[in-house]
Amino acid sequence: MHYQEIKPPAALQHLVRFFWVLEYNGGSQFPVQYKLLAEGFPSLVFFFKNQYGAINGQTTEHRSFSMTGNFKMIGVYLYPYALPLLYKIPSHEFTHQHIPLDEWCKAEFSELQERILETETDAEGVNILSDYLYQKSIRAVAASDKFHQCILHVIDQFGNVAVDRLAQHAGISNRQLERKFNASVGVSPKVYSRLMRFHASLRFIKSGSMKTLTDIAYAAGYFDQSHFIREFKEFSGLSPGEYVSLPVYNRADNFIQLS
C-alpha cells in the first residue's frame, strides 16, 4: 500500500487535520483482508474503484472487511467540530456512521464527487477538495474560540487532560462541557481523550522514534503497559505487538492490510 498525508493550506488549518491519499496496486485476484481502526476525526473520502464518496464519522469501533484487486482513495480528516461549523449538523449524528454522499446530500456533493473521481493526479484531487472546503469555510458558522481551543488541547496533549480543567478553561460547567462535546465532537470528553491517547500511540509507532512498546505507552500517557494493551485492543482489535509486527507498508494511519 502507498499512503501519503498532505498538509492543508493555512486558511484551512483550523478545520482540516490533513488530506491523504491511499493506493494499493497489488493486483490480487483473491480477497485481501483489511481493518479500519477506531477514529477520532471525521472524514470525507472518495473511492475511485467504486466511484462514490462518503462521510465517515468518528468512532470507537474497529471493523474488518475484504476487497479484491487494486484501489485508490483520496480523503480529508477534519477536526470534529468542523462538521457542525460547515454543515450545521451536530457531530453525534455522524458517530459510528459511514454514509455515502449521494444518500446524505446529493445536491451538495454530486458535482464535487464527479470532479474528484475524474482527476488524473492526486494533487489535482486534493486541490479540488481543498477549494471546496475553503468555499464552505467562508460561509461557516463562527467558531466558539474557547471551546474549540479545549478540543484542540485534548488532541495536542494526547488526551491527557482533566475534564475539570477543560471546563474551567472554557468557562462552563462539567455538565455543559459534556453536552457541548457530544454535539461538537460526537463523543464525551473522556471517550475522546481515550481515542487521542490511542492515536498518539499509533503516531509514536509510525515515527519509529521509541525503542519499546513500554516507552510508547508512557509517552502516550497510559498508566502502565497493561492499560495500553487493553485500550489498544479495544480500539484496533489487535494487541500493540500484533500491530507492530505488521509490515510498515501495510499500515496507513487507521487503515491496515492484514493479508
We report the CATH number of the domain holding residue 166 as 1.10.10.60
- Does residue 210 share a domain with residue 127? no
pLDDT of residue 143: 61
Partners of 75 in the β-ladder? 20, 45
- Does residue 116 share a domain with residue 6? yes
- Does residue 201 share a domain with residue 73? no
Burial category of 219 from C-beta neighbours within 10 Å (exposed 0-12, middle 13-18, buried 19 and up): middle
- Does residue 96 share a domain with residue 57? yes
> Please, which residues have CB within 8 angstroms of residue 146's CB and are 6 or more apart in sequence?
169, 170, 171
- Does residue 106 share a domain with residue 197? no
The span from the CA of 45 to the CA of 196, in Å, is 21
In a domain, 209, yes or no: yes
| 222-242 mean pLDDT | 95
| 38-66 mean pLDDT | 94
- Does residue 163 share a domain with residue 215? yes
User: What total number of domains does the chain contain?
Assistant: 2
| 4-31 mean pLDDT | 89
Local confidence band at 1 (pLDDT 50, 70, 90 cut-offs): confident
Q: Which domain holds residue 163?
A: 145-241
Quote the percentage of the chain above a pLDDT of 70: 98
- Does residue 78 share a domain with residue 7? yes
- Does residue 175 share a domain with residue 133? no
The answer to whether the predicted template modeling score (pTM) of the entire model surpasses 0.75 is yes
- Does residue 29 share a domain with residue 115? yes
- Does residue 87 share a domain with residue 63? yes
In a domain, 247, yes or no: no
In a domain, 255, yes or no: no
pLDDT of residue 24: 85
| 97-110 mean pLDDT | 93
